[in-house]
Amino acid sequence: MASAQVLTNLLMTPCKMGKFNLSHRVVLAPLTRQRSYDNVPQPHAILYYSQRTSNGGLLISEATGISNTAQGYPDTPGIWTKEQVEAWKPIVDAVHAKGGIFFCQIWHAGRVSNAGFQPNGQAPISSTDKSLTPQIRLNGIGVEEFDPPRRLGTDEIPQIVNDFRLAARNAMEAGFDGVEIHGAHGYLIDQFLKDEVNDRTDKYGGCLENRCRFALEVVEAIVNEIGADKVGMRLSPFANYMESNDSNPEALGVHMVESLNKYGNGILYCHMVEPRMKSLGDIDETPHSLVPMRKAFNGAFIVAGGYGKEDGNNALAENRTDLVAYGRHFLANPDLPKRFELNGPLNKYDRSTFYLSDPIKGYTDYPFLETTSSTTQNI
């Protein structure tokens, strides 16, 4: 019976990821929650992340800005100031106290921003000066307008690369086990990668290799700063978030993962969004697959995108991935690995509370499987 359970519940089997010994394969996906007031992580995040920590489990933080030009949404955390680094420390300590492995996702929103988020009300920066069309807000209420971006000059790009490097250094100072570079979902790095957005004619635009140049310069700088064994990267070659389609997403994905193999002994992991996740919250049938990228990448492979327990186990059984990242289910079920282990029922998530500023509602008040208080429950 025990062996049959292992075969059908591969999510709960251990996994070696570089120097990290994971006790299961259920990963907390990076989830923007907009509760870091004035871009500073808050004490209520200590409970939020520790609730979702299991001994030997991998957590990836919400997207965390690398500089004062990186923001695109209210109250998202940063890691470019001393105050922010100090605010992250007790959160990271709480995860480590329960045996978790914690990576900080570092990002720059690029043109997915407005002058109101930018220093001195300046234009957001991007690979392009093409504006985004208005988009439905993350909370589904109303429409977000975006100011026209300013195309980065070639001479400015090294400074942005350096901002990523310093953010990685700061993450290590805060105690994180490593960083995940956010190269997905139409944000700054993706704005260079995708040919629908990148209309440059210099060495950062045009052919595939040129469009990947900025992303790989960021990877190289961070690897040189903290070591390849502490670096992961998130990519979404098939997604069209924020008008970020690419004409040949499979070629883009394969080229990127093959390139990631070249730094040190290869970076620790690649975290890729399934082709079926074309846009925010929607799952579409598609003939495309991440398998070519899985086969080309030498490190640990993480998949994300609308997974439940059954198809997560199937992805592992078919060797399409090493780990599966869960977002909405983990948000609503702080003890998600335990529920998967015991085949327990799942709480339903309330989308209307995803982006509230409330420090409790829809954040730390989801119940655990057992009746023990969520403030003390261990999984």
The catalytic residue positions are 187
Tokens of 377: 């429950």
Report residue 174 as tokens: 């805060």
- What Å distances lie between residue 344 and 335, 337, 359, CA to CA? 10, 10, 27
Neighbour tally for 8: CB within 10 Å: 13
Report how far residue 34's alpha carbon sits from residue 76's, in angstroms, rounded to the nearest whole number: 5
| C-alpha span between 77 and 63 (Å, rounded) | 7
Q: What torsion, rounded to 10 degrees, do the Cα atoms 5, 6, 9, 10 define?
A: -170
Rounded CA-CA distance 214/204 in Å is 7
One-letter amino acid of 339: R
With H, G, I as helix, E, B as strand and everything else as coil, classify residue 329: helix
Reduced to 3 states (helix: H, G, I; strand: E, B; else coil), residue 77 is coil
372 CB-near residues (< 8 Å, 6+ apart): none
Question: Which residue has tokens 């570079």?
Answer: 181
Q: Which amino acid makes up residue 64?
A: T
CA pair distance 62, 29, nearest whole angstrom: 8
What is the 8-class DSSP label of residue 287?
S
Instruction: Give the pair of three-digit tokens for residue 262.
Output: 């070249």
User: Which residue do the tokens 């001393």 mark?
Assistant: 82
CA distances for 309 relative to 14, 344, 351, angstroms: 16, 11, 20
Q: Are 217 and 167 in contact (CB under 8 A)?
A: no
DSSP 210-272: HHHHHHHHHHHHHHHHH-GGGEEEEE-TT--TTS---S-HHHHHHHHHHHHTTSTT--SEEEE
